[in-house]
Structure 1
Amino acid sequence: MWSYENEKVAHLIKLSKFHSHFYYLSVIKKFKEFIDFSIFDGTEALVAVPMYKKDLQIRGYNQSVIIAKILSKISKVPVAYDLIEKVKQTKPQVGLKRQERLNNLKNVFVLNKKAKTLKKVLIVDDVVTTSSTINECAKLLLDVNIESNFFALAAET
Protein backbone atom coordinates (compact mmCIF):
# COMPACT_ATOMS: atom_id res chain seq x y z
CA MET A 1 0.00 0.00 0.00
CA TRP A 2 1.28 3.42 -0.95
CA SER A 3 1.02 6.66 0.95
CA TYR A 4 -1.67 8.95 -0.44
CA GLU A 5 0.37 11.87 0.87
CA ASN A 6 2.94 11.12 -1.85
CA GLU A 7 2.16 13.62 -4.63
CA LYS A 8 2.84 11.13 -7.43
CA VAL A 9 0.63 8.47 -5.87
CA ALA A 10 -2.20 10.95 -5.24
CA HIS A 11 -1.88 12.25 -8.80
CA LEU A 12 -1.99 8.73 -10.28
CA ILE A 13 -5.11 7.87 -8.28
CA LYS A 14 -6.86 11.15 -9.12
CA LEU A 15 -6.13 10.65 -12.82
CA SER A 16 -7.48 7.11 -12.70
CA LYS A 17 -10.50 8.00 -10.58
CA PHE A 18 -11.66 11.33 -11.99
CA HIS A 19 -10.14 11.61 -15.46
CA SER A 20 -10.67 8.16 -17.03
CA HIS A 21 -6.97 7.27 -16.97
CA PHE A 22 -7.74 3.98 -15.23
CA TYR A 23 -5.04 2.21 -17.26
CA TYR A 24 -2.60 3.70 -14.74
CA LEU A 25 -3.96 1.20 -12.25
CA SER A 26 -2.18 -1.58 -14.15
CA VAL A 27 0.93 -0.39 -12.29
CA ILE A 28 -0.23 -2.84 -9.61
CA LYS A 29 1.07 -5.70 -11.79
CA LYS A 30 4.55 -4.17 -11.83
CA PHE A 31 4.63 -3.98 -8.02
CA LYS A 32 3.03 -7.33 -7.24
CA GLU A 33 6.15 -8.52 -5.41
CA PHE A 34 5.32 -5.91 -2.75
CA ILE A 35 1.83 -7.31 -2.15
CA ASP A 36 1.49 -9.46 0.94
CA PHE A 37 -0.20 -12.46 -0.67
CA SER A 38 -1.27 -13.81 2.72
CA ILE A 39 -4.28 -11.45 2.44
CA PHE A 40 -5.66 -13.85 -0.17
CA ASP A 41 -5.36 -16.95 2.07
CA GLY A 42 -8.79 -18.54 2.33
CA THR A 43 -10.39 -15.69 0.39
CA GLU A 44 -13.24 -16.92 -1.78
CA ALA A 45 -14.00 -13.64 -3.55
CA LEU A 46 -12.79 -10.10 -4.11
CA VAL A 47 -15.44 -7.45 -3.48
CA ALA A 48 -14.91 -4.00 -4.96
CA VAL A 49 -16.43 -1.15 -2.99
CA PRO A 50 -19.52 -0.32 -5.05
CA MET A 51 -20.60 3.02 -6.44
CA TYR A 52 -24.15 4.31 -6.52
CA LYS A 53 -25.72 3.37 -9.89
CA LYS A 54 -26.24 6.95 -11.07
CA ASP A 55 -22.66 7.90 -10.12
CA LEU A 56 -21.36 4.84 -11.96
CA GLN A 57 -23.34 5.82 -15.07
CA ILE A 58 -21.87 9.31 -14.96
CA ARG A 59 -18.26 8.17 -14.44
CA GLY A 60 -18.56 5.12 -16.66
CA TYR A 61 -16.39 2.85 -14.52
CA ASN A 62 -15.62 1.97 -10.93
CA GLN A 63 -11.89 2.21 -10.21
CA SER A 64 -12.24 -0.27 -7.34
CA VAL A 65 -13.63 -2.86 -9.77
CA ILE A 66 -10.63 -2.29 -12.04
CA ILE A 67 -8.27 -2.79 -9.10
CA ALA A 68 -10.19 -5.94 -8.10
CA LYS A 69 -9.90 -7.33 -11.65
CA ILE A 70 -6.14 -6.77 -11.63
CA LEU A 71 -5.83 -8.41 -8.22
CA SER A 72 -7.94 -11.31 -9.46
CA LYS A 73 -5.51 -11.94 -12.32
CA ILE A 74 -2.59 -11.87 -9.90
CA SER A 75 -4.20 -13.94 -7.12
CA LYS A 76 -6.59 -16.19 -9.11
CA VAL A 77 -9.37 -15.23 -6.66
CA PRO A 78 -12.61 -14.34 -8.52
CA VAL A 79 -14.33 -10.98 -8.29
CA ALA A 80 -17.88 -10.99 -6.87
CA TYR A 81 -19.32 -8.00 -8.70
CA ASP A 82 -22.69 -7.61 -7.03
CA LEU A 83 -22.13 -8.85 -3.50
CA ILE A 84 -22.51 -5.39 -1.99
CA GLU A 85 -24.64 -2.62 -3.48
CA LYS A 86 -24.61 1.09 -2.70
CA VAL A 87 -28.28 2.02 -2.52
CA LYS A 88 -28.07 5.71 -1.61
CA GLN A 89 -26.26 8.55 -3.29
CA THR A 90 -23.82 10.29 -0.97
CA LYS A 91 -21.53 13.28 -1.06
CA PRO A 92 -18.03 12.48 -2.33
CA GLN A 93 -15.79 11.59 0.62
CA VAL A 94 -13.03 13.86 -0.74
CA GLY A 95 -12.89 17.06 1.28
CA LEU A 96 -15.13 15.86 4.11
CA LYS A 97 -13.90 15.96 7.69
CA ARG A 98 -13.52 12.70 9.60
CA GLN A 99 -16.92 12.78 11.34
CA GLU A 100 -18.64 13.85 8.12
CA ARG A 101 -17.05 10.90 6.31
CA LEU A 102 -18.26 8.50 8.98
CA ASN A 103 -21.82 9.86 8.89
CA ASN A 104 -21.89 10.13 5.09
CA LEU A 105 -21.80 6.36 4.58
CA LYS A 106 -24.14 5.17 7.33
CA ASN A 107 -26.65 2.65 5.98
CA VAL A 108 -25.85 3.21 2.29
CA PHE A 109 -24.70 -0.34 1.50
CA VAL A 110 -26.76 -3.54 1.34
CA LEU A 111 -25.66 -7.13 1.00
CA ASN A 112 -26.79 -9.44 -1.78
CA LYS A 113 -28.36 -12.70 -0.59
CA LYS A 114 -25.66 -14.67 -2.46
CA ALA A 115 -23.15 -13.39 0.08
CA LYS A 116 -24.35 -15.79 2.74
CA THR A 117 -22.70 -18.69 0.92
CA LEU A 118 -19.23 -17.21 1.46
CA LYS A 119 -16.94 -17.49 4.47
CA LYS A 120 -14.19 -14.97 3.64
CA VAL A 121 -13.81 -12.09 1.19
CA LEU A 122 -11.33 -9.33 0.43
CA ILE A 123 -12.82 -5.83 0.16
CA VAL A 124 -11.04 -3.75 -2.49
CA ASP A 125 -10.91 0.06 -2.61
CA ASP A 126 -8.61 2.64 -4.12
CA VAL A 127 -7.82 4.83 -1.09
CA VAL A 128 -8.33 4.37 2.64
CA THR A 129 -8.47 7.52 4.73
CA THR A 130 -10.77 7.16 7.75
CA SER A 131 -11.64 3.51 6.93
CA SER A 132 -15.32 4.47 7.02
CA THR A 133 -16.08 2.89 3.63
CA ILE A 134 -14.24 -0.34 4.42
CA ASN A 135 -15.78 -0.49 7.90
CA GLU A 136 -19.34 -0.06 6.60
CA CYS A 137 -18.82 -2.88 4.09
CA ALA A 138 -17.11 -5.09 6.67
CA LYS A 139 -20.00 -4.59 9.16
CA LEU A 140 -22.48 -5.87 6.58
CA LEU A 141 -20.36 -8.95 5.99
CA LEU A 142 -19.75 -9.56 9.68
CA ASP A 143 -23.50 -9.44 10.34
CA VAL A 144 -23.84 -12.63 8.27
CA ASN A 145 -20.63 -14.21 9.63
CA ILE A 146 -18.43 -13.48 6.63
CA GLU A 147 -14.84 -12.72 7.52
CA SER A 148 -13.26 -9.90 5.55
CA ASN A 149 -9.92 -8.30 4.97
CA PHE A 150 -9.20 -5.34 2.73
CA PHE A 151 -6.82 -4.12 0.05
CA ALA A 152 -6.36 -0.48 -0.87
CA LEU A 153 -3.94 0.95 -3.38
CA ALA A 154 -3.10 3.85 -1.08
CA ALA A 155 -3.76 5.06 2.42
CA GLU A 156 -3.78 8.43 4.09
CA THR A 157 -1.60 8.19 7.16
Structure 2
Amino acid sequence: MKKHPQKAANVMATNKKARHNYNILETYEAGIVLTGTEIKSIRAGRMNIKDGFAQIHNGELLLSNVHISPYDQGNQFNHDPLRNRKLLLHKREINKIAGQIQKKGVTVVPLKVYLKHGFAKVLLGVAEGKKLYDKRETLKRRDQEREIRRHLKNVLR
Protein backbone atom coordinates (compact mmCIF):
# COMPACT_ATOMS: atom_id res chain seq x y z
CA MET A 1 0.00 0.00 0.00
CA LYS A 2 1.34 3.39 -0.97
CA LYS A 3 1.85 5.94 1.80
CA HIS A 4 0.66 9.47 1.27
CA PRO A 5 3.41 12.10 1.40
CA GLN A 6 3.30 14.21 4.53
CA LYS A 7 1.89 17.68 4.12
CA ALA A 8 4.28 20.52 4.75
CA ALA A 9 3.68 22.31 8.01
CA ASN A 10 1.66 25.50 7.58
CA VAL A 11 3.73 28.29 9.11
CA MET A 12 1.42 30.86 10.71
CA ALA A 13 3.99 33.21 12.32
CA THR A 14 7.77 33.52 12.43
CA ASN A 15 10.10 35.44 14.70
CA LYS A 16 12.83 36.74 12.37
CA LYS A 17 14.14 39.04 15.08
CA ALA A 18 15.01 36.10 17.36
CA ARG A 19 17.74 34.71 15.10
CA HIS A 20 19.24 38.21 14.84
CA ASN A 21 19.22 38.94 18.58
CA TYR A 22 20.04 35.45 19.92
CA ASN A 23 22.27 32.45 19.33
CA ILE A 24 19.89 29.49 19.29
CA LEU A 25 21.44 26.68 21.37
CA GLU A 26 18.67 24.07 21.11
CA THR A 27 15.13 23.83 19.72
CA TYR A 28 11.99 22.09 20.98
CA GLU A 29 8.58 21.53 19.40
CA ALA A 30 5.70 22.11 21.81
CA GLY A 31 1.94 22.10 21.59
CA ILE A 32 -0.07 25.09 22.79
CA VAL A 33 -3.23 25.00 24.92
CA LEU A 34 -5.67 27.31 23.11
CA THR A 35 -9.34 28.27 23.23
CA GLY A 36 -11.64 27.93 20.21
CA THR A 37 -11.42 31.56 19.14
CA GLU A 38 -7.62 31.57 19.48
CA ILE A 39 -7.08 28.72 17.04
CA LYS A 40 -9.44 30.40 14.58
CA SER A 41 -7.42 33.63 14.80
CA ILE A 42 -4.17 31.70 14.34
CA ARG A 43 -5.56 29.96 11.25
CA ALA A 44 -6.45 33.41 9.92
CA GLY A 45 -2.80 34.43 10.46
CA ARG A 46 -3.58 37.05 13.09
CA MET A 47 -0.82 36.53 15.65
CA ASN A 48 2.47 38.17 16.59
CA ILE A 49 5.28 36.31 18.37
CA LYS A 50 7.96 38.98 17.98
CA ASP A 51 8.15 39.94 21.68
CA GLY A 52 7.24 36.52 23.06
CA PHE A 53 9.15 34.42 25.57
CA ALA A 54 8.58 31.29 27.62
CA GLN A 55 9.03 30.89 31.36
CA ILE A 56 8.66 28.06 33.84
CA HIS A 57 6.00 28.54 36.53
CA ASN A 58 4.97 25.74 38.95
CA GLY A 59 6.62 23.08 36.79
CA GLU A 60 4.77 24.21 33.65
CA LEU A 61 6.15 26.07 30.66
CA LEU A 62 4.10 29.19 29.85
CA LEU A 63 4.24 31.25 26.67
CA SER A 64 4.02 34.95 27.53
CA ASN A 65 3.70 38.21 25.61
CA VAL A 66 2.43 36.57 22.42
CA HIS A 67 -0.40 38.53 20.84
CA ILE A 68 -3.26 36.59 19.23
CA SER A 69 -5.85 39.03 17.91
CA PRO A 70 -9.48 38.53 18.97
CA TYR A 71 -11.50 36.53 16.47
CA ASP A 72 -13.70 38.75 14.28
CA GLN A 73 -16.80 36.59 14.53
CA GLY A 74 -16.25 35.90 18.23
CA ASN A 75 -18.80 37.07 20.77
CA GLN A 76 -18.56 37.52 24.54
CA PHE A 77 -16.50 34.29 24.67
CA ASN A 78 -13.57 35.93 22.85
CA HIS A 79 -10.14 35.55 24.45
CA ASP A 80 -7.68 37.98 26.05
CA PRO A 81 -5.05 38.73 23.34
CA LEU A 82 -2.01 38.69 25.65
CA ARG A 83 -2.88 35.92 28.11
CA ASN A 84 -0.25 33.37 29.17
CA ARG A 85 -0.65 30.09 27.30
CA LYS A 86 0.46 26.70 28.60
CA LEU A 87 2.92 24.79 26.44
CA LEU A 88 2.75 21.01 26.18
CA LEU A 89 6.11 19.29 26.65
CA HIS A 90 7.28 16.16 28.42
CA LYS A 91 8.36 16.63 32.04
CA ARG A 92 11.97 15.66 31.25
CA GLU A 93 12.09 18.29 28.47
CA ILE A 94 10.78 20.97 30.86
CA ASN A 95 13.39 19.95 33.44
CA LYS A 96 16.14 20.09 30.81
CA ILE A 97 15.03 23.58 29.74
CA ALA A 98 14.87 24.66 33.40
CA GLY A 99 18.48 23.59 33.87
CA GLN A 100 19.58 25.50 30.78
CA ILE A 101 17.87 28.78 31.65
CA GLN A 102 19.51 28.88 35.08
CA LYS A 103 22.59 30.27 33.35
CA LYS A 104 22.81 34.03 33.00
CA GLY A 105 21.74 35.42 29.62
CA VAL A 106 19.85 32.29 28.51
CA THR A 107 16.14 32.50 27.70
CA VAL A 108 13.46 30.61 25.76
CA VAL A 109 11.98 32.36 22.71
CA PRO A 110 9.36 31.21 20.18
CA LEU A 111 10.87 30.90 16.69
CA LYS A 112 7.75 30.01 14.71
CA VAL A 113 4.18 28.85 15.10
CA TYR A 114 2.75 26.37 12.61
CA LEU A 115 -0.08 23.91 12.13
CA LYS A 116 0.77 20.21 12.14
CA HIS A 117 -2.02 17.69 11.57
CA GLY A 118 -4.55 20.36 12.55
CA PHE A 119 -2.86 21.25 15.85
CA ALA A 120 -0.97 24.48 16.58
CA LYS A 121 2.68 23.86 17.44
CA VAL A 122 5.39 26.31 18.48
CA LEU A 123 9.10 25.85 17.78
CA LEU A 124 10.91 27.06 20.90
CA GLY A 125 14.56 28.02 20.94
CA VAL A 126 16.75 27.98 24.03
CA ALA A 127 18.74 31.09 23.22
CA GLU A 128 21.69 33.09 24.45
CA GLY A 129 21.72 36.85 23.81
CA LYS A 130 24.14 38.21 21.24
CA LYS A 131 26.36 41.19 21.89
CA LEU A 132 26.21 44.17 19.52
CA TYR A 133 29.51 43.24 17.88
CA ASP A 134 28.22 39.69 17.24
CA LYS A 135 25.17 41.13 15.47
CA ARG A 136 27.41 43.32 13.31
CA GLU A 137 29.62 40.34 12.48
CA THR A 138 26.58 38.29 11.42
CA LEU A 139 25.33 41.08 9.15
CA LYS A 140 28.79 41.53 7.66
CA ARG A 141 29.16 37.79 6.96
CA ARG A 142 25.68 37.63 5.39
CA ASP A 143 26.48 40.59 3.10
CA GLN A 144 29.76 38.97 2.05
CA GLU A 145 28.05 35.67 1.23
CA ARG A 146 25.38 37.49 -0.78
CA GLU A 147 28.07 39.36 -2.70
CA ILE A 148 29.95 36.11 -3.44
CA ARG A 149 26.76 34.42 -4.69
CA ARG A 150 25.98 37.42 -6.89
CA HIS A 151 29.52 37.41 -8.33
CA LEU A 152 29.46 33.63 -9.00
CA LYS A 153 26.07 33.92 -10.67
CA ASN A 154 27.42 36.57 -13.06
CA VAL A 155 30.60 34.57 -13.77
CA LEU A 156 28.72 31.35 -14.54
CA ARG A 157 26.48 33.01 -17.15
TM-score, normalised by the number of residues in structure 2: 0.25
Q: Higher helix proportion, which one?
A: 1
Report which of the two structures shows the higher radius of gyration computed on alpha carbons.
2
Q: Higher strand proportion, which one?
A: 2
